[in-house]
Amino acid sequence: MVAAVGFMLAVGAWRSGDLPWQQQVTETVGTRGANLGTMSWQLTSHKGEPVSPQSWIGQTSLVFFGFTWCPDVCPMTLLNISDWLEELGPDADGLAVHLVSVDPERDTPEVLADYLSNFDPRISGLTGAPDEVAKAADDFNATYRRVPRDDGDYTVDHTAGVMVFGPDGRLSSIIDLHDDPKFAVPKIRRAMEREV
Amino acid sequence: MMNSTAAAFVLAAILPATAFAECVEVTQGNVTVSAAWSRATIGTERPAVFYVTVRNDGSEERLMGIETPVADVPMLHETVVENGAARMSYVEQIVIAPIDAVSLEPGGYHGMLMDLQTELVEGTTFPVTLLFEKSGPVTIDTAVLPLRAREAACEEAL
């Protein structure tokens, strides 16, 4: 019982960001430069094709973490991205857009394909073995956590921003969920201007 | 010729109004509930979402929960983004200040409809009952919009 209370207190402190070492974590989010060139994960696309990070170098890429069981944030992110692609017009042709599933247990390539058919066809879904997804999240400095529900089902908390990588493979910026939408497309354009 | 041009102008003026019908609105006690919508689901395995606007014309009111025949486990949730990570947390109640309105909308408060009994099909409606502390239960027809919808497909008369 005491252990359980201690655990809840720790969770509470974690959530409110009160732990001293957490300040460091907060400061490094988005600044520790993720680099596609040094990543090593291997995932599978919703079309069943193998995907590796190096294959994105040379083009501007948008990456975000989510899952198809998520009814609020994920459809909204997909809609936002669809809007940006539309605003970019023909310039969006050189973009690669990837949803990495944080729920590989349920999001098989077939499930991703079915779900993504409702959104812009340029958005690709990625999934794979749970340890490969974990490795990818680590490489991208993303976090996710499976949260059990009372009825035996579960949901997944996850990093919500859209990461923007330049053609050089380096993280250029992150578009946060609640950012003013007018800054999104300029962030993508800035990434596009990077030299390989 | 003149007539058809005039008719075109009239049509242009009318179209936006007809494309967005006024939202269904239900008033009970001091609360008015309107603009209830959800997204179509693929099958019944995934949870559905519920969005709505609540106006409070009286003293402080609280939304204590929701009920609907389409889901066994309907719950009030809030999407919270902390340090870049999003989580959906259960909220026990949503306080609506006196003479104020609260919207359950994408990225914030929303109803989470879990253990769906039926697929939500675009173009249909289903009832959701909002349980208010003072005004009691208020039932509203909820429009099922496409999976790509981001807002209610009606004009709020708020």
Q: Using H for helix, E for strand and C for coil, what is the string for chain A?
A: CHHHHHHHHHHHHHHHCCCHHHHHHHHHCCCCCCEHHHCCCCEEECCCCEECHHHHCCCEEEEEEECCCCCCHHHHHHHHHHHHHHHHHHHHHHEEEEEEECCCCCCCHHHHHHHHCCCCCCEEEEECCHHHHHHHHHHCCCCEEEEECCCCCEEEEEECCEEEECCCCEEEEEECCCCCHHHHHHHHHHHHCCCC
Higher confidence at residue A25 or residue B127? B127
Residues in chain B with CB shorter than 8 Å from the CB of A12 are none
Residues in chain A with CB shorter than 8 Å from the CB of B110 are 71-72
Q: How many domains does chain B have?
A: 1
Handedness of CA A116, A117, A118, A124 (dihedral sign): positive
**What's the CATH number where B105 sits?**
2.60.40.1890
The answer to whether position B1 is within a domain reads no
Handedness of CA B67, B69, B70, B72 (dihedral sign): positive
Residues in chain A with CB shorter than 8 Å from the CB of B115 are 151, 153
A69 touches chain B (CB under 8 A): yes
> Measured between alpha carbons, how far is A81 from A86 in angstroms, rounded to an integer?
9
The answer to whether position B35 is within a domain reads yes
> Measured between alpha carbons, how far is A176 from A30 in angstroms, rounded to an integer?
11
Among B45, B49, B147, beta carbon nearest to A72: B49
Tokens (6 digits) for B40: 């179509």
> Measured between alpha carbons, how far is A81 from A75 in angstroms, rounded to an integer?
10
By C-alpha distance, the chain A residue nearest B151 is A76
Contact A29 B83 (CB under 8 A): yes
> Measured between alpha carbons, how far is A31 from B86 in angstroms, rounded to an integer?
19
Q: Give how far B5 is from chain A: nearest CA, Å.
A: 33
Cβ–Cβ contacts within 10 Å for residue A150, how many? 7
Q: Give how far B111 is from chain A: nearest CA, Å.
A: 10
The answer to whether B137 and B129 have CB atoms below 8 angstroms apart is yes
A119 touches chain B (CB under 8 A): yes
The answer to whether position B10 is within a domain reads no
Contact B82 A15 (CB under 8 A): yes
pLDDT score of B95: 97
CA atoms within 13 A of residue B22's CA, in its CB half-sphere: 5
Among B46, B107, B115, beta carbon nearest to A73: B107
Nearest CA among A161, A166, A176 for reference residue A196: A166
The answer to whether position B25 is within a domain reads yes
Of the residues B45, B51, B83, B119, the best mutation for testing chain A's interface (the one with the most A CB atoms within 10 Å of its CB) is B83
Burial A49-62 (b: 16+ CB within 10 A, else e): eebebeebbebbbb
Task: Give the tens place of pLDDT for each residue, A39-94.
Answer: 999 999 999 999 999 999 999 999 999 999 998 999 999 999 999 999 999 999 98
The answer to whether position B53 is within a domain reads yes
Tens digit of each residue's pLDDT, chain B (158 residues): 445 545 545 444 444 444 567 889 999 999 999 999 999 999 999 999 999 999 999 999 999 999 999 999 999 999 988 877 888 888 999 999 999 999 999 999 999 999 999 999 999 999 999 999 999 999 999 999 999 999 999 887 65
Tokens (6 digits) for A56: 């994105």
Tokens (6 digits) for B128: 């959701």
The answer to whether position B9 is within a domain reads no
The predicted model gives A123-139 an average pLDDT of 96
By C-alpha distance, the chain B residue nearest A163 is B84
Phi, psi at B150, each rounded to 5°: -120, -5
A141's CB contacts (< 8 A; 6+ apart) are A28, A29, A30, A32, A34
The answer to whether position B32 is within a domain reads yes
The answer to whether position B12 is within a domain reads no
Q: Give how far B75 is from chain A: nearest CA, Å.
A: 12
**Domain range enclosing B119:** 18-149
Among A71, A114, A160, beta carbon nearest to B48: A71
Contact A177 B83 (CB under 8 A): no
